[in-house]
Structure 1
Amino acid sequence: MERRHFIVAGAALAMPAVTRAAVPNVPVEIRLYVGFAAGGATDLLARRLQPLLERRGHRLVIDNVPGGGSTIALNRVALSPPDGRTLGFASGGLLSLVASGEVPLRLNQFTNLVRISQDPAILVVGNNSPIRTLDDLIAAIRAARGSFSAAAAGAEGSLGHLNLNAFVQSIGGEYIYVAYSGASRIANELMGGHLGVGLVKPADVFGQIRSGELRPIVQFADERLRQMPDVPTTAERGINVFPHGKMVQMTYLVGPAGVPAPVQQGLISLFREAVLSPEFQASANEDAFLADGIHGAPLEAAVDEMFRGFQAAYARMR
């Protein structure tokens, strides 16, 4: 499998001048495994962090190792020495695979550090669709009597599939699930008029929403994103899309199990400062994702709630 290594321009020769000292107990060079190809939404998160860490005197080397729903990359993290030099991006995808028992990884093989992003899902249609409102969508699904097509990224049992199931069941309808490998394919099918609706992350399609090629219908959230103030939420309409606990896609930073406490605290400080920086927050605002940098008990609770939600959903499916 091809492995790609990316370093901030010029960093391979010498560390650039920095305005602040490096964070104590944190290695100068950190390797970050990303389980998706270069250029995707998760990869872009890592690249936005690079210059922010460099400013603090740390070199972030991004190693893209796609495959297995990010488990190949995260397995390398789990097997690495717990010295803070090797980290990875985990997500709801990892939690679903571990909860299903389909992969040998376990959550206790990782040290959870900082949440990098959170992506409340949205339902979108193509601009040529007759569906313009949530009421239109509900009526169309009910009228189709099981023939309405809805898509998400991931196979049956993925987070998108479970969220769609909960939505359709909550409104008393039926549908045909169509699985895609990513949001770009879903967007193309919607714009071509080949799908009824798609469930995606705002960050993956916000460009098409801004251009008018896609129309957002409803947000799977408690509160409206500030970038889409006119798009209602499922909570406002009393539609329960989280019957097994709040299951919202997120990306969070992990290291191998056993990272010493001083190193953990240094890494949390370094990455949290980057996530909460004006530059990263501007990116979050532009691409419509949330970046709160939670860590410690709040992050552990969020991971545990999603993991238990997957376990409950799979138990019900069996």
Structure 2
Amino acid sequence: MKHSLALALGAVLLAAAGSAAAQDKFPSREVRLIVPWNSGGSNDIAARMLAPILAENGVRIIVDNVPGGTGTIGMGRVASATPDGYTLGMGTSSTLSMIAQNKTPLRNDQFTGIARVSSDPLMLLVKTDGPKDVEAFVAQMKANPGKVTIGTPGTYNINHIFATMSAKAAGVDYVNVPYPGGAKVITDLAGGQIDAAVLKPSESIAQIKAGQVRPIAVFDNQRLSVFPDVPTMKEKGYDVFPFGPVVQMAYIVAPAKIPPEVRKTLVDAFRKAIQDPRFKTFAAENGVLVDDLTGDALDQEVNAVQKSLNAVASQVFKGAD
């Protein structure tokens, strides 16, 4: 009798141990990916494009849009989340710019790098019936000092930097109009509520093709393959990198101190999804640059971009509130 009880108890303990092991295997449930911008923007679209590919590789994600504070509200939730791999966030250079301006208590050591999703060149866009080129836009700004409106997703970020540098090229003030995401910027530009916008190709390509807005310049040192006829600001004689180069990028992070094995699972899954031909095709069609930067190498890149933004933003926004 005692022997039977011992065997039964042993079986129960083994089953419980097996059940616990199954529960402990990461990921045993869906992962929450916080996109700190409104739905419909480029980061949101990229996250939702990656979701089904990640699911094929064993990581099911739920995209959670938490806009506000130029990305800092959503990323704050990531920083304070339990470091178990079940809460991730999409960091961007815009939030790094907020850190550079000391406009957020967030710091990069609160996060663990997983994978870079994209690097995105930015463009200057106008209404379809707006200035035909950069020279005409600068002339418009000079003729209307302090009145021309330029929309940007967020404020004190790279978009805002380039909008400010455009005004500096004209030698006049302008009105920066910040939004919680690129989708609303492009809607208001197409509707004529603002005069111009600084956006990624992926945030504006549909409206460009529909003839609702028009790109007049690229904030980069080379033209984009998706818009080969659009000149760079450099070609037009305007230096938008007077204080050093800056890059707009989006990348996946987890809270600091997640277990190494969990990080490896996430790095492997996101790397495979980002390198998937379907995502690469999506990237090419939307003017998005994709590379293979993950883990510690991503952390190093984020710190390098942060250092550059610390210098650039402090010069561009010197004296700004």
TM-score, length-scaled by structure 1: 0.80
Q: How does 1:250-265 map to 2 (within 5 A)?
A: 250-265=249-264
CA RMSD of the aligned region, Å?
A: 2.6
Q: How does 1:161-200 map to 2 (within 5 A)?
A: 161-169=160-168, 171-181=169-179, 182-193=181-192, 195-200=194-199
Which residue number corresponds to residue 128 of structure 1?
129
Mark the runs of 5 or more structure 1 residues left unpaired by the alignment. Answer: 1-24
- Structure 1 residues 222 and 299, CA gap change in structure 2 (3 angstroms): farther
- Post-superposition shift, 1:80? 2.9
- Structure 1 residues 193 and 103, CA gap change in structure 2 (3 angstroms): closer
SS in 2 for 1:66: coil
- Structure 1 residues 268 and 237, CA gap change in structure 2 (3 angstroms): farther
Higher relative helix content: 2
- Post-superposition shift, 1:120? 1.1
- Post-superposition shift, 1:275? 0.9
Separation in structure 1 between the aligned mates of residue 313 and residue 227 of structure 2, nearest angstrom = 32
Q: How does 1:1-318 map to 2 (within 5 A)?
A: 26-29=26-29, 30-129=31-130, 131-144=131-144, 147-155=147-155, 157-169=156-168, 171-181=169-179, 182-193=181-192, 195-296=194-295, 299-316=298-315, 317-318=318-319
- Post-superposition shift, 1:168? 3.3
Question: 1:138-188 CA distances to partner (integer Å, 9 max, x unpaired)?
Answer: 444345455444332323x3322211222332x352231231314344434
Question: 1:243-275 CA distances to partner (integer Å, 9 max, x unpaired)?
Answer: 333323221100111234443333222101111
- Given that 1:116 and 1:251 are in contact with CA atoms closer than 8 Å, whether structure 2 keeps it comes out as yes
Separation in structure 1 between the aligned mates of residue 295 and residue 248 of structure 2, nearest angstrom = 19
SS in 2 for 1:218: strand
SS in 1 for 2:228: coil
- Given that 2:161 and 2:313 are in contact with CA atoms closer than 8 Å, whether structure 1 keeps it comes out as no
Structure whose CA Rg is larger: 2
Which residue number corresponds to residue 12 of structure 1?
none
- Structure 1 residues 245 and 187, CA gap change in structure 2 (3 angstroms): same
- Structure 1 residues 61 and 45, CA gap change in structure 2 (3 angstroms): same
Identity value in percent: 35
Q: Which moved more, 1:245-254 or 1:135-144?
A: 135-144
Task: Name the amino acid aligned to 1:311.
Answer: N
Separation in structure 2 between the aligned mates of residue 209 and residue 42 of structure 1, nearest angstrom = 19
- Post-superposition shift, 1:81? 3.4
Separation in structure 2 between the aligned mates of residue 194 and residue 60 of structure 1, nearest angstrom = 36
Task: Name the amino acid aligned to 1:210.
Answer: K
- Structure 1 residues 193 and 66, CA gap change in structure 2 (3 angstroms): closer
- Given that 1:82 and 1:255 are in contact with CA atoms closer than 8 Å, whether structure 2 keeps it comes out as yes
SS in 2 for 1:236: coil
Separation in structure 2 between the aligned mates of residue 60 and residue 283 of structure 1, nearest angstrom = 19
- Post-superposition shift, 1:218? 0.6
- Given that 1:33 and 1:89 are in contact with CA atoms closer than 8 Å, whether structure 2 keeps it comes out as yes
- Structure 1 residues 298 and 122, CA gap change in structure 2 (3 angstroms): farther
- Post-superposition shift, 1:36? 2.8
Question: 1:199-231 CA distances to partner (integer Å, 9 max, x unpaired)?
Answer: 112111111101111111011112222110111
- Post-superposition shift, 1:89? 0.8
- Given that 1:123 and 1:198 are in contact with CA atoms closer than 8 Å, whether structure 2 keeps it comes out as yes
- Post-superposition shift, 1:121? 0.9
- Structure 1 residues 308 and 69, CA gap change in structure 2 (3 angstroms): same
